[in-house]
């Protein structure tokens, strides 16, 4: 009998209600911490937002240990340069929980 690999899990459709929570937070004038928490929920990730001078602006992590590993830029952390025009204005570091964040949703959020 041949070995059979388990079939890959199908990715669920992006949670548009979670995306709406981000836009609601922005429209309501919520601060960066609330907006980042909404983004973390939408992406199912932990996030940390850092400006170009390396100041932490907001954190949405599941635990203090998770926050520390985001700060250290651990091996399983993805760093995204945030740009305005061609100028890098900050970084978004993230760690996905079960599977990588949906690419289309990530692009909308960043």
pLDDT digits (tens, 9 = 90+) for 59-88: 999 999 999 999 998 888 989 999 999 999
Higher pLDDT residue, 90 or 20?
Answer: 90
Q: How many folded domains does the chain comprise? A: 1
Tell me if 22 is assigned to some domain: yes
Tell me if 7 is assigned to some domain: no
CATH number, domain with residue 71 = 3.30.450.40
Tell me if 10 is assigned to some domain: no
Comparing CA positions, the residue from 56, 16, 42, 38 lying closest to residue 97 is 42
pTM, two decimal places:
0.74
Tell me if 47 is assigned to some domain: yes
Tell me if 100 is assigned to some domain: yes
pLDDT, mean over the chain: 83
| Contact criterion met (CB below 8 Å) for 47 and 71 | no
Higher pLDDT residue, 18 or 89?
Answer: 89
Q: Is the pLDDT of residue 14 over 70?
A: no
**Range of 25's domain?**
16-109
């Amino acid at each position: 009998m041949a070995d059979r690999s388990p079939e890959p899990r199908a990715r669920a459709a992006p949670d548009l209600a979670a995306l709406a929570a981000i836009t609601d937070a922005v429209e309501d004038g919520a601060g960066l911490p609330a907006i980042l928490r909404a983004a973390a929920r939408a992406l199912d990730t932990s996030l940390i937002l850092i400006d170009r001078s390396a100041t932490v602006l907001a954190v949405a992590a599941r635990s203090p240990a998770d926050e520390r590993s985001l700060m250290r830029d651990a091996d399983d952390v993805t760093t995204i340069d945030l740009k305005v025009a061609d100028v890098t204005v900050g970084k978004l570091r993230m760690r996905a929980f079960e599977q990588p964040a949906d690419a289309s949703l990530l692009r909308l959020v960043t």
